Amino acid sequence: MNQWLDERLHISRLNDKFLRKAFPVHHSFFLGEITLFSLIVLIITGILLALSYEPSNSLVVNSFDPGTADKVNYIPAAYHSALKINAMPFGDMLRRVHHWMANIMVAAAVIHMMRIYFTGAFKKPREINWWIGMLLLIFAALTAVTGYILPYDNYAYQTVGVVYAITKSVPWVGDWASQAAFAGQFPGAGIIPRIYGYHIMLLPGILLALTGAHLLIMIKQKHTQPQYAKRLAYKKIVGVPLLTQQTPIMLLLALLFTGIVLLFAAFIPVHPVEVFGAPSSTPIPNIKPDWYLLWVFGALAIIPSFDFQILGGTIGAEFVGAMVFPGIVIGLMFAVPMLDISKENNYYAENPTDHPVRLAAGTAFMAFMLTLSLAGYKPDLIQGGVLTTANANAVLWILVFVVPALTYFATVGIVRLIRALREADERDAAAHSAQLSHSAADD
Amino acid sequence: MTRYKKQDPELTRRKFINAAMGGAAAIGTLSLISTLGGAKPVFRLTPALAPPMEGDVLVHADPSRYGEPVKVSDLGLQLVRAWPQGKDKNGSPVIRDQDPTSVLAIFKYPAGQIQAPTNMEGTIDGQIVAYGDRCQHAGCNVGNNDQKPGLMNCPCHSGQYDPKLGGKVIGGPPPAPLAQLPIKLDGDKIVATGFFLSKPYGFNTEDDWTKYTAQVKELLS
């Protein structure tokens, strides 16, 4: 069969160029693969869900609870179809798998990025792939947000209201942009078809195109090599080829991973649309976004109110908290490859402890995001009696700055300790071997 | 010695191709952008989309009592959510629940607690007061403050309001107080006596709001 294919498709050339790609043998290199597998499962489950979903916010009679003749129970068609999906065999399971996979995809992507950052794999020549990765992260988050608006229960309704408000808060163009993006003033008659279009066509298309570019560049540039490769064969590519060694490992990992996610989708329910109910004017207490947007939510919760006019545009707390501030944070992450000014190409994954400032800056950044996420729990902290309404903002603001600073210095201190111990070990080993050779010479 | 000097053509091939590509890109981009024009639908005001206005009866928004007129006996320190109910062209009643900005929160306090900057003429006996229930920050529906009855808390980003003081912001990010709706008692029904006294959520300036109310009056009268 190989020969038959080769005569027609020149498989051997493809084999030499792509299928022999060497994969480094280290478990941290599987994080990107897990992100990819999640995307594939998301697309498969997404297609299955789209087959039974009705993208419309027109009101229909709730077939599960039709009400009475003089008081008919109308609900949006999208919400009705979500209820129907839950009622079909394995329908609820399908929604849960889709939901969990989305969360895991973002989580795996974030940990993958942490690996890249801490080992210096973003350095020349891989800057472009860091930027594409950042775009992937942003578009993945946007896809997730549009995704959880689609069931159009009360939770989704309140969420899309906030997303609309954030778009609207942009000075000068916000009004036009929000109405163009969400099909008229909130909640426009066409809001669900519009978001459905984004979620199943536009955003997955962008994600797939970016993923393709990400992988092609990775194949062209090769992985960074783990440290042992330096000792084994300097400046040579070390690893197992895609065909036939890496492929079975990948398949095993993909199937095992999918199996595990299916297993806990079976036992851990997510987003019960029946509990939240149809869109209504009753707010949901303690409503929160998904964990990867909690830091923006936290920033909005502690930013004080302000509002000023500039050249006819209004700049308010909403715009600064939800657009300018995340813009700065994401801009910083985009700028990471600029921090390295070396002209040399980087072949090897670096030991994080050899770069204490980069390591400490990274952990401080993570501490910053975590503290802001904690600020997202402000109402719960007040309700639980940990903080009071009067001191909550002050305490949280102090924590937002103090915790990252402490993390930075603690990390630098720990790295110094590790290096001191390591050097002492090396001195010991050197002295020991000198002694050994000395005594050997004596004999 | 040559009699003919080679002359550069006025336009090199490279220049022509570059200009042609630039032109095509500009035209192509413009025509693609023009399709975006269809993205923003036209806004048409219908009675169901209108804001609460003079003569509207306030009816319950809660699904269990949806559409029943709000009575004084229903009110207290816990907010009662309501929609305005007006009339369409044929005079039949229509609940204005299509624009979330129209939803209202009604409170009743013991006499003397409601104070300026609340518009006292817009209250009933200085005891019952109504506000637009959309947070001025991101437009979420504002709920009760569970710790302090009579105050309001927005679940979205922790905006806090005091309805006794004209819907003043007492915490969190909202940039403006809640919009008060002037009301009166008509028999046992609560009836609006005008538009919101200040801009509700969704309008950038007071000016935008006055312009909009003038437009609403013209279109629906």
Contacting residues for A292 by C-beta, under 8 A, at least 6 apart: A106, A107, A110, A141, A144
- C-beta of residue A230 within 8 angstroms of C-beta of residue A352: no
| CA nearest to B45 within chain A | A185
Helix extents (H) in A271-391:
273-276, 294-302, 317-319, 325-334, 356-375, 378-383
Contact B154 A283 (CB under 8 A): yes
Q: Strand ranges (DSSP E) for chain B?
A: 57-60, 80-87, 93-95, 104-108, 128-132, 143-144, 152-153, 160-162, 168-171, 180-181, 183-186, 189-192
User: Could you give phi then psi for residue B129, rounded to 5 degrees?
Assistant: -140, 145
- Per-residue pLDDT for B57 more than 70? yes
Q: Which residue has the higher pLDDT, B146 or A132?
A: A132
User: Which portions of chain A are predicted below pLDDT 70?
Assistant: 438-443
Cβ neighbours of B154 in A, within 8 Å: 283
Q: Which residues of A touch B63 (CB under 8 A)?
A: 280
Model confidence over B155-175: pLDDT tens digits? 888 888 999 999 999 888 888
Name the minimum distance, in Å, from the CA of B175 to any CA of chain A.
5
Using a CB-CB cut-off of 8 Å, the residues of chain B touching A283 are: 140-143, 154-156
pLDDT band at residue B6 using 50, 70 and 90 as cut-offs: low
The reply to whether residue A166 touches residue B176, judged by beta carbons under 8 angstroms, is no
Angle between helices A294-302 and A325-334 (to 10 degrees): 140
Would you call A165 and B137 a contact, using CB atoms and an 8 Å cutoff?
A: yes
Check CB contact under 8 Å for A318 and B143.
no
- Grouping H, G, I as helix, E, B as strand and the rest as coil, residue B143 is strand
Which position has the token pair 């006294």? B197
Q: Report the range of poorest mean pLDDT among A54-58, B26-30, B214-218.
A: B214-218
CA distance A298 to chain B (A): 8
Contacts of B36 in chain A (CB under 8 A): 180
> Which chain B residues contact residue A304 at CB under 8 A?
173
Identify the pLDDT of residue A443: 55
B132 DSSP β-pair partners: B104
Phi then psi dihedrals of residue B69, to 5 deg: -60, 140
Whether chain A has a CB inside 8 Å of the CB on B202: the answer is yes
Residue B158 near chain A (CB below 8 Å)? yes
Q: How confident is the model at residue B8 (pLDDT cuts 50, 70, 90)?
A: low
Show residues of chain B in contact with A280, CB under 8 Å. Answer: 61, 63
Query: What's the pLDDT score for residue B146?
Result: 83
**Which residues 64-123 on chain B approach chain A with CB closer than 8 angstroms?**
66, 81, 83, 97, 99-100, 103
Rounded to an integer, what distance in angstroms lies between the CA atom of residue A350 and that of residue A115?
Answer: 10
Which positions in chain A touch B137 (Cβ < 8 Å)?
A: 165, 300, 305, 317-318
Chain B contacts of A382, Cβ < 8 Å? 147
Model confidence pLDDT, tens digit, residues A184-242 = 888 888 899 999 999 999 999 999 999 999 999 999 888 988 888 888 888 888 888 88
Q: Are the Cβ atoms of B173 and A286 closer than 8 angstroms? A: no
DSSP-derived 3-state class of residue B196: coil
Give A-chain residues touching B147 at CB under 8 angstroms. 382-383, 389
- List, as one string, the DSSP characters of A79-147: HHHHHHHHHSTTHHHHHHHHHHHHHHHHHHHHHHHHHHHHTTTTSTT-HHHHHHHHHHHHHHHHHHHHH
| Cross-chain residue pair B155–A307, CB shorter than 8 Å | no
To the nearest whole Å, the CA of B5 is away from the closest chain A CA by 48
The minimum CA-CA distance between A278 and chain B, rounded to whole Å, is 10
With CB atoms and an 8 Å threshold, state whether B202 touches A168. yes
For residue B1, what pLDDT is reported? 55
| pTM (two decimals) | 0.89
| Nearest CB neighbour to B156, from listed A162, A280, A393 | A162
Q: How close A68 comes to chain B (CA, Å)?
A: 13
Most confident of A99-113, B34-48, B106-120: A99-113
Is B40 a residue whose pLDDT tops 80?
Answer: yes
| Whether B156 contacts B135, CB under 8 Å | yes
Query: From the CA of A164, how many Å to the nearest CA of chain B?
Result: 8
How many Cβ contacts (< 8 angstroms) between chains A and B?
Answer: 113
Instruction: Please give the full DSSP string across B61-73, using - where no structure is assigned.
Output: -SGGGTTPBP-GG
Residues of B in Cβ contact (< 8 Å) with A190: 41
- Mutation pick from B154, B157, B208 vs chain A, by most beta carbons of A within 10 Å, is B157
Q: Nearest Cβ partner of A306 from B139, B157, B175?
A: B175
Cross-chain Cβ contact B137/A317 below 8 Å: yes
Count the neighbouring beta carbons within 10 Å of the beta carbon of residue B203: 21
Asked whether the predicted pLDDT for residue B4 surpasses 80, the reply is no
In degrees, rounded to 5, the angle at the alpha carbon of residue A84 between the alpha carbons of residues A80 and A85 is 115
B35 touches chain A (CB under 8 A): no
User: Residue A438: its pLDDT value, please?
Assistant: 67
Looking at chain B, which residue has its C-alpha nearest residue A306?
A: B175
